[in-house]
Structure 1
Amino acid sequence: MDKQELAAFLRSRRERLRPEDVGLRSGPRRRTPGLRREEVAVLAHISTEYYIRLEQGTAPRPSSEVLAGIAGALRLTDAESSHLHVLAGTAPILTGLHRRDVRPSILALLERLPQTAAFVTSAAFEVLAWNDLAAALMEDFASLAPEDRNLARTAFLGPARSDVNLYGVSDAAEFRRHVVMELRAALARYPSDPAIADLVTELRDGSTEFARLWERHDVQSTPMLTKTFRHRTVGEITVDCDSLTLSDSDQHLVLYTAPQGSRDAEALALLNVLGIESVNAGRSR
């Protein structure tokens, strides 16, 4: 049970709600935003004293029934409710380190997708494997040190020019929010993994934007269905985005494709022919 993180998460979810969101009257002017602690306690059918202790980080571990009541009172989404149970220690936690090995069948699959930019990321946003088209579209990952193949570092600690540190993507802000939410969930799943904890510390210390987003305690991101790359060699390419969860290794297989016969598909095909040399040439200008 991570008492302090649980307390902070509960406070952040309570403060975002208005009385009318849960069927209560606003009443007299409130000095602080959100519901009052006693209101949450009543809605969750628990004592006010116990809920206050939860937000102070001094209460014993709540039961699953109590957590269900709190989740309902705070109008948590399924993802937020799952995160609440992980923080409280009532859900399975993945002990040890997050997986970095990619199974051979996935590595072989990457090479069987010539018209798809495909790559695999770890729970900490490390790019673990990729095909040639992904490298041509984004970056020559093979030329980077392993620690520099991390998309979270690229997003928050890369060069100041957004067309460099996020490959010219159209949804840079959304992707950064997605990174923060996914890393928060990963840290809860792997509390003993120093790589994830150190990455979060590095990003909080090195990026004011990351630190600001981290304090929001959000854990549910919106799927990114399309993305536009502004590529220096072939121009704009809009792709469909699919992220497939590899549940056995807690990794993601990310696929970028374009509708057959579209201008974007033609641009991807051209980039596939030009290969990684086009990326290197564009970066040398």
Structure 2
Amino acid sequence: MARQELARFLRDRRAGLRPHELGLPADTPRRTPGLRREEVAELAHMSVDYYIRLEQARGPRPSPAILDALAETLRLTPPERSHLFRLAGSTVPPGSQAVRRVRPHVARMLERLPETAAIVTDAAYGLVAFNPLARVLLGDDLGRRTTNLARRRFLGEGRMYESSSAEQFGHIVVARLRRAAVRYPHDAQLAALLGELRAGSEEFRQIWETHPVHAPGHRTKTLDHPVLGRLRLNCDVLLVPEDDHEVVLITADPGSPSARTLRELAARA
């Protein structure tokens, strides 16, 4: 059954592509819409016979390298790529680079969270989205496109307020960057970031050598804001696994002075 579903998926995606989308001549008459099998095989660097057997549910289980070549040739989206690997009975590997753009539905979700400051970070702790309350709470420089929370924490780039969780957050950052380095060994931007952090922070180098491990979850911290005073805040992390993103929700206990402050900031934001 899985072979047949994989074959059907490949046929459907091939039929949905147009030659000009892949730089192929579009003036050749075609009996059926979409790409020819020979064209897919050539673009994916595999034999025509092997690809035909895949579409006929007769071929052997394709390797991850074959699946990645097909995903690229057929212009699959990240969810479609994951689906392809699952149909082939293979573990879904990460992409070659960290995803540095937020999905539109995730960005829209941030705007619908009353009295909650929310940010989205990529695998390298780059800030890819935030809502107005987060910007008011964490600083106007949050709007810079190059904002990276690892640089903020270890290199002093941008505004960092005194927090009871500063030391813990340092270990959290390093643990996540270690995971990212394993998942995206060919990501040039990530490699450059790690080089900056090693060169500019003795603390980062020391924590890196401890091989910290951390799982996202709930934590509470006290933030000393220069204008708002001391705030007791809750941080909860939601995962967007297909992009290796984390959505951080910053709230306060209902009825607390910190909750009233967030409510006033939300109205102002």
Name the TM-score class by shorter chain: 0.5 to 0.7
Q: Distance in 2 between matches of 1:219 and 1:93?
A: 21
Letter in 1 for 2:195: T
* Residues 1-285 of structure 1 aligned to structure 2 (within 5 Å): 93-141=93-141, 143-144=143-144, 146-147=145-146, 149-158=147-156, 165-220=159-214, 223-275=217-269
Q: Residue 81 of structure 2 aligns with which residue?
A: none
Displacement after TM superposition at 1:218 (Å):
2.3
Q: Deviations over 1:67-107 (max 9, x none)?
A: xxxxxxxxxxxxxxxxxxxxxxxx86423111112111111
Q: Distance in 2 between matches of 1:106 and 1:258?
A: 22
TM-score, L = length of structure 2 = 0.62
Displacement after TM superposition at 1:222 (Å):
7.3
Task: Give the aligned CA root-mean-square deviation in angstroms.
Answer: 2.1
Q: Secondary structure at the match of 2:221?
A: strand
Q: Distance in 1 between matches of 2:217 and 2:113?
A: 22
Q: Distance in 1 between matches of 2:140 and 2:242?
A: 28
Q: 1:227 to 1:100 in 2, by over 3 A?
A: same
Q: 1:156 to 1:142 in 2, by over 3 A?
A: closer
Displacement after TM superposition at 1:217 (Å):
1.9
Q: Distance in 2 between matches of 1:99 and 1:247?
A: 11
Contact 1:243/1:255 (<8 A) preserved: yes
Letter in 2 for 1:233: V
Q: 1:103 to 1:94 in 2, by over 3 A?
A: same
Displacement after TM superposition at 1:261 (Å):
1.6
Contact 2:164/2:223 (<8 A) preserved: yes
Letter in 2 for 1:157: L
Displacement after TM superposition at 1:208 (Å):
0.4
Letter in 1 for 2:265: L
Letter in 1 for 2:117: A
Contact 2:233/2:251 (<8 A) preserved: yes
TM-score, L = length of structure 1 = 0.59
Q: Distance in 1 between matches of 2:243 and 2:267?
A: 32
Q: Deviations over 1:211-254 (max 9, x none)?
A: 11111122335745112211122211111110001011110010
Q: Distance in 2 between matches of 1:223 and 1:168?
A: 21
Letter in 1 for 2:108: A
Which is bigger in relative contact order (C-alpha 8 A, separation at least 6)? 1
Q: Secondary structure at the match of 2:162?
A: coil
Displacement after TM superposition at 1:114 (Å):
2.1
Q: Deviations over 1:124-166 (max 9, x none)?
A: 001111001101110224642x22x10000000006xxxx743
Displacement after TM superposition at 1:271 (Å):
2.1
Q: Secondary structure at the match of 1:225?
A: strand
Q: Distance in 1 between matches of 2:262 and 2:102?
A: 25
Letter in 1 for 2:131: N
Letter in 2 for 1:216: T
Moved over 4 A (4+): 221-224
Contact 2:139/2:159 (<8 A) preserved: no
Q: Distance in 1 between matches of 2:141 and 2:124?
A: 16
Q: Deviations over 1:166-196 (max 9, x none)?
A: 3222210110111011100110011111111
Q: Secondary structure at the match of 1:239?
A: strand
Q: Secondary structure at the match of 1:254?
A: strand
Displacement after TM superposition at 1:255 (Å):
0.1
Q: 1:256 to 1:143 in 2, by over 3 A?
A: closer
